[in-house]
Amino acid sequence: MNPSGKTILIIDDDADFAEALAPALEAAGFRVLRARDGHQGLKLAKLEAPDLVLMDIIMSERTEGFFAIQEFRRTPSLAATPIFVLSSLYDAVADFRVAPEAAWLAHDAFFSKPVDLDKLIQTIRERLGLNAAVREGTG
């Protein structure tokens, strides 16, 4: 069931994280797709045209998420798709910070893991222009 009519693509190599995140998004009314790496995520995005992407940065290859985001932005059909980065990058590299306006990592929002699900879902709704009426099924 997809009351919002919106599809979210999770690209993350941490299967446990994706499996924990997906039901919360589904309960909030989203259709959820999952990919285990940047290559699979790009392929799936080209086929399914998700409304928003949740992207890990450090996957099997340490820079995989960075390159996947760049490829999204170079692909005409995906260039405008909002990308939210969900990463423990700041835990791994304490002094490293990325602003959304940084052209080399063209993302729309950054969430540190562990992710505050309520804040994430609220930000997704805001970014996709959904109002509070779509909140059925969320606590």
CATH number of domain containing 28: 3.40.50.2300
**pTM for this one?**
0.83
End-to-end CA distance of the chain: 17
Q: Is residue 1 part of a domain?
A: no
pLDDT band at 138 (very low <50, low <70, confident <90, very high): very low
Q: Does residue 66 sit within a domain? A: yes
Count CA atoms within 13 Å of residue 115 on its CB side: 26
Rounded mean pLDDT of 111-139? 79
The string of pLDDT tens digits covering residues 33-76 is 999 999 999 999 999 999 999 999 888 766 678 889 999 999 99
The whole-number pLDDT of residue 65 equals 82
Number of domains observed in the structure of the chain: 1
The answer to whether the CB of 8 falls within 8 A of the CB of 54 is yes
Between 118 and 63, the more confident residue is: 118
Q: Hey, what are 49's tokens?
A: 């045209």
Q: Please tell me the distance from the alpha carbon of residue 92 to that of residue 98, in angstroms, as a whole number.
A: 14
Q: Note down the domain range covering 43.
A: 7-129
Residue with tokens 């606590």: 139
Helix (H/G/I), strand (E/B), else coil: 63: coil
Q: Considering the domain boundaries, does residue 80 fall inside one? A: yes
